[in-house]
Every structure is written in C-alpha cells, then in structure tokens.
Amino acid sequence: MSSFTKALRPLARAASRPSSLGLRITPESHQCLRTLTTTPNLCQAHALDISSIPPTPITHLSETESLMADSIRKFATETILPKVRAMDEAESMDPALVEQLFEQGLMGIEIPEEYGGAGMNFTAGIVGIEELARVDPSVSVLVDVHNTLVNTAILKYGTEESKRKWLPRLATETVGSFCLSEPASGSDAFALKTKAEKIADGYKISGSKMWITNSVEADFFIVFANLDPSKGYKGITAFVVEKSAKGFSIAKKEKKLGIRASSTCVINFDDVEIPKDQLLGDEGQGYKYAIGLLNEGRIGIAAQMTGLALGAWENAAGYVWNDRKQFNQLVGEFQGMQHQLAQAYTEICAARALVYNASRKKEAGLDFVRDAAMAKLYASQVAGRVSGQAIEWMGGMGFVREGIAEKMFRDSKIGAIYEGTSNIQLTTIAKLLQKEYTK
C-alpha cells in the first residue's frame, strides 16, 4: 500500500526550498490562500508557480509524509484496532486513546513547532486522517474536525495573542469542536439563529447548536453566532467559547447509525458571556471563515471516506483470498468475486486521486473548491458502495457485529451528510461549471 501513497515530491521539495526556482511563497500568497475560496480570481496571479516542476504521480508522497503514514498506520493497527469494536458498542471514545492521539502529535499536525505542534503540511494531515479511517472512521473524524476546522480557524483568523494562548493547548491537551449547524439550519447554514450581543467587556451568546462533533471530549468550541441579524448572513461572527463558561451546556448526546464512538451533541448557550479577546477574527466575517474552513475541511472528510473504503476493502480481501474456501477453493478465486474486487479497488484509486489532487492544489495555492467538492462527493459514494459490497464478499461473517465489516458500512453513510450533503456538493460543482461554461 505504501507505493500507493507517494507524493508530489518535486512540489514538496520546491515548497521547502523557497529560494530555488523562484518558487517563494510570499506573505501575499498566504493571504491569497485564505481568501481563495471567496475571491478565486484575485489569487491566480500570486499562486505558487508549479509550471516548471515536472509532473509526478499524484500518489507520490514526500519522505516526511510517507514516514508519517507508516508511523500512524502502525499506531492505528496496534493501538486503535483492538478498541474499535468495544468503543462502537459503548458509543464512546476511550479517553486514554484521545490522550495517545495528543502524544503522537496527531492533534497539532499543521500547528507550527513554535506553538507546540508538528508543523507539517496540509497533505500530511490528509494522509493521517486517511490512515486513521482505515482502522476507525470515528477516531479519524475526531482528528479531522480538530485539525482541519478548529486548529486551522485559529491559525488563519486568530490574532498573534490568541495563537499563543490557544494553539499550544490545542496541540497538546484540549480537543476542539466546530459549532455551525443548528436545529433549524443545516444545509442552509447561514440561516442560523444563535445570537451574539455586545456587552461591556465582551460578548453574550444565546441560542443552541446541533450535531456538534467532539462535544463530549472538547473543552474548546468555535461558535458561529449572528451579531447583527438585520444584516442577514453578514452579521455572522465567529467566537471562541470554553466548556467551562457559565451558561454552556450539553443538552443531548445523539444515538447514531454510524461513527458511534464519535460524540455528536446538542449544545445550549444560555447567555454565555465571553471576554472581548474571544472574538475570532473580525465581526461580521464569520460566514466567510466558515466557507473557507469547510472548503478545506471537505478534503479531510473525503480522505476519511477513502481511508474507510480502503480499510473495508482490505479487510474483505484478506478474508476472501486467505481464509474462506467454498467448493474447494478460496472464494476470492471465483471470477465473479475477482471482478467485483477489481472494480471496487479501481474506484477507490479514482477517489484517492481526486482527494490528493484537491489537497495538492490547495497547497499550491490554486483554486480547489470544485476539486474538494468532487473529492468529497465521489469518495463518500465509493465508501458507501465498497463497504456495502465488502459485507457481501464476506457472506455471514461480514454481517455479524465482529470485526469491522458491518461497522465500516454503517460509518460510511455519514460521508454523504456532514460538511455539506451530496446534493450540496453537486450544487457547488454545478454552479462553478455553469460559470465556466456560460458564454
């Protein structure tokens, strides 16, 4: 499998050696990455020039990325795998495991070393999320939301002071949550009703959020609330709220079909007062931040889904080609089975190509919004299909609540729902296409 995941090495090299080839990533181009999602055209001029880099296979990883993939794969199979079934049955994440995720540095992948993180690149995070999902998509989403939505929010929009305050904690001990959805606003996220109000030395937040991943484990919440409903979505503002704040409460923990070890809760904000410095970025910019974060975050969910598909496929392949015999031969030797396995693997590879391409484009400062949407749409479809077939390939052994086969199938469904449903991805893709093809 390691040959499968190898990166765009010349690109990684060029990025780490800014002086060569004149491929310097200037502060402007960083700025540009940030605003890319809302004003893509402005960015083209500043994007990392990759025209002189010889193309390499999209599956090619940098030395660091492959070392990391190896280390996480080992950690996942030796440490997480033995707990997967029990955590799913108990519908809870083992706190000792969360602690180990911090020890491994998995909770601060992109956080710079000076703030206690690993200081790795975006694709390293994608590799990590995928490797974890091969073994447990619940653990994978905990790491995914924490890194791609929460840490990135502080990294991109936090002041220097708030970075110094929060990033070391997020990298080493505090789990984070991202609170956008509400009971009455899901796909139409910016119709959110949670209100924020300016008070003497800060803000007061009231309302409720729904479907919040990590809320049991988290102490740190990024909350989107409307500071000025008269301005519509342009009143939406991002805040940092700690679990210990007065008026914060978890109202209900959902019982789910899949990713059951990942906590999902309803949260109430009952006049929660927070200090001024817990405003994230600027007032009224929250909707832009949410769009930008979710555009990137989607690549993470896509990676969760390709990891899941790969894990389900490998689990079944191991069984049909090594263990199970019928009619005096391994069931995986029947051509009818072989063709299905081959078709499924081909689809996984196609999905992974979309995921890694979106990720590398984001790193290169190119417009990746459509790529991310396509990756997430397709990866979740492939995950659903392959994990479902994998159960059939294993017969009764795939259907029982032992091993990971049936769990992967249940877990796959969420890929078509969170961080934008499949319909919403299709809408994004179609809108961008129509723009391009309108004469």
Return residues touching other proteins (CB under 8 A). Answer: 1-3, 63-64, 66-68, 70-72, 74-75, 103-106, 108-109, 113, 116-120, 124, 128
CA atoms of 10 and 8, how far apart (whole Å): 6
Residue-by-residue DSSP string for 303-319: HHHHHHHHHHHHHHHHH
Q: How far is the CB of 180 from ligand FAD (least distance, A)?
A: 3
179 interface partner picked from ligand FAD, other proteins, none, CB below 5 to 8 A per type: ligand FAD
CA atoms of 153 and 361, how far apart (whole Å): 20
Q: How far is the CB of 372 from ligand FAD (least distance, A)?
A: 15
Active site residues: 419
- DSSP structural state of residue 54: P
Provide φ and ψ at 250, rounded to 5°. -90, 120
Return the sign of the alpha-carbon dihedral for residues 155, 158, 159, 164. negative
Task: Decide: residue 271, CB within 10 A, 0-12 exposed, 13-18 middle, 19+ buried.
Answer: exposed
Instruction: Confirm or reject binding of residue 216 to ligand FAD (CB under 6 A).
Output: no
When the beta carbons of 11 and 302 are compared against ligand FAD, the nearer one is 302
When the beta carbons of 68 and 153 are compared against other proteins, the nearer one is 68
Instruction: Give how many residues touch ligand FAD by CB under 6 A.
Output: 20
Contact positions with ligand FAD (CB under 6 A) in 388-427 = 414, 417-419, 421, 423-424, 427
Instruction: Confirm or reject binding of residue 186 to ligand FAD (CB under 6 A).
Output: yes
Return the half-sphere exposure (C-beta side, CA atoms, 13 A cut-off) of residue 356: 26
What contacts 176, CB < 8 A, 6 or more positions away?
Answer: 145, 146, 149, 150, 151, 170, 214, 218, 220, 221, 222
Instruction: Confirm or reject binding of residue 221 to ligand FAD (CB under 6 A).
Output: no
When the beta carbons of 175 and 354 are compared against other proteins, the nearer one is 175
Residues 248-287: x where in contact with ligand FAD by CB under 6 A, - otherwise, as a string: --------x-------x-----------------------
Q: How far is the CB of 360 from other proteins (least distance, A)?
A: 20
Helix/strand/coil (H/E/C) assignment for every residue in 387-432 = HHHHHHHCCHHHHCCCCCHHHHHHHHHHHHCCCCCHHHHHHHHHHH
* Strand-pair partners of 274: 203
Amino acid occupying residue 324: R
From candidates 179, 303, 341, 369, binder to ligand FAD by CB under 6 A: 179
Instruction: Confirm or reject binding of residue 375 to ligand FAD (CB under 6 A).
Output: no
When the beta carbons of 20 and 31 are compared against other proteins, the nearer one is 20
In the complex, which residues of this chain contact ligand FAD (CB under 6 A)?
145, 178-181, 186-187, 211-213, 256, 264, 414, 417-419, 421, 423-424, 427
